[in-house]
Structure 1
Amino acid sequence: MASIEELPSMRQASFEEKLIPFSDDDMIERGLGRFGWMEFLQCILVSFAMFFDAQQSFITIYTDDYPTWHCNDGAAACSAGSEICKLPRSSWSWDGPAHKTTISQWGLECASNFVTGLPQSSFFMGCLIGSFVLATLADTSLGRKNMLVLSCLSMSVTSMLAVFTTNVWAYSALKFVIGFLRSSIGTCVLVLLTEKVSTEWRFTVGIVEYFCFTLGYMSLPGIAYINRNASWKTNYIWTSVPAICYSIIAYLFVTESPRWLLMQGRQEEAMAMLKGVSSVENGVDLTASLLKVPAKQKGSVFQLYSSIAELFGRSWALKRMVAIMVLGIGIGMVYFGMPLAVGNLGFDIYLAVVFNALMEIPSCVATYFLENCSRKPSILVFSVGSGICCVMCVLVGSELQAVKVALAMASFFSACTAYNVFLIYIIELFPTSVRNTTTSLVRQAIVFGNIFSPFLISAGRKNDIFSYGVFGIVIMASCFTLLGLPETKGIALCDTMDQQEKKDSRPG
């Protein structure tokens, strides 16, 4: 085959024009294509924040549990089937120490569903408000890395303050603050991971995040069992101290997203992170080309939240946001609600959480094999399957406990798989300029649905229809919004709203 120098001069220019052009997306994808051991370690280091996030999300399974009790010797009016609130306090005792949970320590055994569900509901309310307040800071001034470290560190320090609370009201207020501070962790981890790798590795790194979250959830039964005769406050200390150490390590060794650096006009830093891309490629100055990527302006507080205005200024983006938020409410209610409701199964609470957590491992495996499958059908199948299993839990009742536990596990497995694919789907629907903001807003919707979950779970102790029944109906109904959303499998990430709009308008 003839070289370029041997071609006629009139054809040489034409040939080079076809050979040289690179789009910004092509160059970024090319630079992020390499995935070696250093990239893998970065992936693990970033993802491990989810370990501590999971602990804080589900720690109330043990700290706010309704303990078992027994009748005291000689209490004639007391029996195993008695209603505890109608018995004299002297006729019964807790099976364990009174300081084992918040319910037993503060005498909340006869409190209303509102009071017993308030701490975890306050946690989700804090997550909701925190997602709104902190959402765009990772897209603008702070960046993905700094927002992640700040959120994890402040969450952990505040969590340790739980040992000083003396009543349910102070405890609920503290849970609100913890939820507020941790609200950005999941979003920053997912966005930072997916923006540091090419399209080929996007799904894989997402699975690493889910696996770390699973490990954090699975660690809780072990921690709680070791401290089963200690105060519930001990669990907060055991989960907070390691998270503080992690935050320091992450600040020192985690690197920033190259896509975010480009959007901030920090092209030299971004180019240094794009492996395997020289400054001049086939005669094209790639650094100069990357300078064309529009940088976000810094300055006033209004500019910090400019990504929200940019997002809602376009009708297609607004419609897409509403649809994906509704879907998030349904999937998130089951994903977070089912673990919190394990106490309603009438099963050993340590084994119940272990079995529940183990469902996340096959879910991660299933998610891995779904990488080459379309996103919408995958989410639909597993969401509907989860909803059906939830409804079946109500129909089976407590008579067939083994069947009920199996259905609950199947529902959680399906919800986990749908949730995993759903999070990747969110990333692919929106460009870099608003990606952290949109992911945070969707998580707000998820949290909004979960604000009501603790009350439903508390009411579900008497009738499963208020917990499992509601969960099943909501997740199945939310799937209708998939009809108005596009498919994103195999599509490269965009950086600006204009690029996203242009790509979505292409036929096919």
Structure 2
Amino acid sequence: MFGYDTGVVNGALDPLTADLGLTPLSEGIVVSNLVFGAAFGAVIGGVLSDRYGRRHNILLLSLVFMFGTLGCVLSPNWQILALFRFILGLAVGGASATVPVYLAEIAPVERRGGIVTRNEVMIVSGQFAAFVVNAIIFSLWGEIDGIWRVMLLVAVLPAIVLFLGMLRMPESPRWLVAQGRDEEALAVLSQVRTTERARAEMAEVHRLAEEERAAKTAGAVDLGVRWVRLLILIGAGLGICQQFTGINSVMYYGTQLLGDAGFSSNSAIIANTLNGAFSVIGIAVGIAVINKIKRRTMLLGGFTLTTTFHLLVGLSAMLMPDGSAKAWFILVFVVLFVFSMQATIGPLVWLILSEMFPLKIRSLAIGISIFVLWIANGLVALGFPPVVKALGIANTFFAFAAFGLLALAFIATRVPETKDRSLEELEDDFRARYA
């Protein structure tokens, strides 16, 4: 759902623009409203998840996904469409805050890492699915007026499956223990563990619940501490650096970008599926190597690659004559950029954010960092169409390359190495450096 709803607008944008008469600015508003909604949805979703339970929140989100999807499909103008895209964003953000927590809390400890990282795999798989579905629908029925509504309508099917499936799923045992509902927690653990292990694990769940309560002791007063403030600023900076690679400009506007590069409408929507495919391949490669290379080394390497491919896209757009050769060169470099991004920077930023904050400030710090990340995502999504219109493909990607150089300098001078270091070691390091 997360991936499909963020990716479906990619192929639907051209027929949608023709049908509703969008300008570059209104295109940006329609696309970015989902992302701005996600920023607030992440905050609201986290609060509701803590108060009413993970399972309850996912059930609620599936209904919001359905309502938002149907609202988008039936929208008579772009303003109403933008409103329902914002509502869909609330569901996307709520899912980003709730689903990884639910997976982590219900998975056996030895399988937790693999199960939780499947969340990221399924997000990019959902985007790939959206690109493929769009390509099939457009190839078969592209001449039909309002075909973009069918593309968006497909998203209601997984929302129904999510709702029906979650009716059969148990609540998080860790949340139940935090509510003092130990018997229910034990019953849940007994569904997914042997009886002996379930009883033994209750003590562990109690300990983790106590840690969770301890982790929520930080508040606004902690922002007055210099090292805490600087650490949060580094987390927010990482989120900005990740989004200003422009990855989501490709995931949201890839079909339009390839059309501007020289592909026909039908060829562009088919070629764009390569971005989705290499996104999935990239995340699979990243997960395979992420624990074998130091975080900073992998992050610096990732930004070096993405910045190089930004320059190559810009040079191809600027120097090559219009034609199929230019279009194919741009496609190859964009696909390599997507692969490099998803194999390195994409999963690494989320991992470093989960590792770099001491327990006391973790909830506050990650909440602020992810909120800033979503807002940066929204600004890129809002600004991409008018910037391409005003500057062209070449200068737009040169601007991304300039941001990449700034990101390299920021990472080299500010971002700590978190691999194989305890939270206590990181906290001592920051206290000593910035106290």
Alignment of 1:315-330 (within 5 A): 315-330=226-241
Q: Is the 8 A contact 1:136 1:436 kept in 2?
A: no
Instruction: Show the counterpart of 1:336.
Output: 248
Q: CA deviation at 1:394?
A: 0.7
Residue 424 (1) aligns with residue 341 (2):
no
Residue 383 (1) aligns with residue 303 (2):
yes
CA 248–278 in structure 1, closer or farther in 2 if over 3 Å, else same: closer
Amino acid at match of 1:340: Y
Give the TM-score of the pair, scaled to structure 1. 0.68
Q: CA deviation at 1:279?
A: 5.8
C-alpha distance in 2, partners of 1:506/1:459?
Answer: 41
Q: CA deviation at 1:270?
A: 5.5
Alignment of 1:432-471 (within 5 A): 438-454=365-381, 455-461=383-389, 463-471=392-400
Q: Is the 8 A contact 1:372 1:489 kept in 2?
A: no
Task: Work out which of the residue numbers 65, 87, 90 in structure 2 matches 1:177.
Answer: 87
C-alpha distance in 2, partners of 1:278/1:217?
Answer: 37
Q: Whose Rg is larger? A: 1
Task: Work out which of the residue numbers 332, 337, 346 in structure 2 matches 1:406.
Answer: 332
C-alpha distance in 1, partners of 2:225/2:197?
Answer: 34
Residue 505 (1) aligns with residue 409 (2):
no
Alignment of 1:476-495 (within 5 A): 476-482=405-411, 483-490=413-420
C-alpha distance in 2, partners of 1:361/1:209?
Answer: 12
Instruction: Show the counterpart of 2:341.
Output: 415
Amino acid at match of 2:158: P
Q: CA deviation at 1:409?
A: 0.9
Q: CA deviation at 1:56?
A: 0.7
Q: CA deviation at 1:266?
A: 5.3
Q: CA deviation at 1:404?
A: 1.7
Task: Work out which of the residue numbers 165, 168, 171 in structure 2 matches 1:249.
Answer: 165
Q: Is the 8 A contact 1:324 1:481 kept in 2?
A: no
Task: Work out which of the residue numbers 89, 92, 97 in structure 2 matches 1:187.
Answer: 97
Amino acid at match of 2:5: Q
Give the share of equivalent positions with the same residue, in percent.
Answer: 16
Q: Alpha carbon RMSD of aligned pairs, Å?
A: 3.5
Structure 1, unaligned runs of 5 or more: 1-51, 66-100, 298-304, 493-499
C-alpha distance in 2, partners of 1:163/1:290?
Answer: 47
Aligned residues: 399
More helix by share: 2
Q: Which SS does the other structure have where 1:204 is aligned? A: helix
Q: Is the 8 A contact 1:330 1:476 kept in 2?
A: no
Amino acid at match of 2:275: N
C-alpha distance in 2, partners of 1:280/1:240?
Answer: 41
Residue 105 (1) aligns with residue 24 (2):
no
Instruction: Show the counterpart of 1:97.
Output: none
Q: Which SS does the other structure have where 2:40 is aligned? A: helix
Instruction: Show the counterpart of 2:63.
Output: 153
Q: CA deviation at 1:224?
A: 1.9
Give the TM-score of the pair, scaled to structure 2. 0.79
C-alpha distance in 2, partners of 1:446/1:329?
Answer: 6
CA 478–279 in structure 1, closer or farther in 2 if over 3 Å, else same: same
C-alpha distance in 1, partners of 2:331/2:209?
Answer: 57
Amino acid at match of 2:402: I
C-alpha distance in 1, partners of 2:426/2:173?
Answer: 23
Task: Work out which of the residue numbers 118, 128, 134 in structure 2 matches 1:224.
Answer: 134
Q: Which SS does the other structure have where 2:210 is aligned? A: coil
C-alpha distance in 1, partners of 2:295/2:113?
Answer: 11
Cα displacement string for residues 77-114 of structure 1 (whole angstroms, at most 9, x for unaligned residues): xxxxxxxxxxxxxxxxxxxxxxxx22111233xx3x21
CA 449–251 in structure 1, closer or farther in 2 if over 3 Å, else same: same
Q: Which one is further off, 238-247 or 463-472?
A: 463-472
Residue 114 (1) aligns with residue 25 (2):
yes
C-alpha distance in 1, partners of 2:352/2:26?
Answer: 37
Q: CA deviation at 1:177?
A: 2.0
Structure 2, unaligned runs of 5 or more: 431-435
Amino acid at match of 2:334: A
C-alpha distance in 1, partners of 2:257/2:19?
Answer: 21
CA 261–254 in structure 1, closer or farther in 2 if over 3 Å, else same: closer
Amino acid at match of 2:26: V
Amino acid at match of 1:177: I
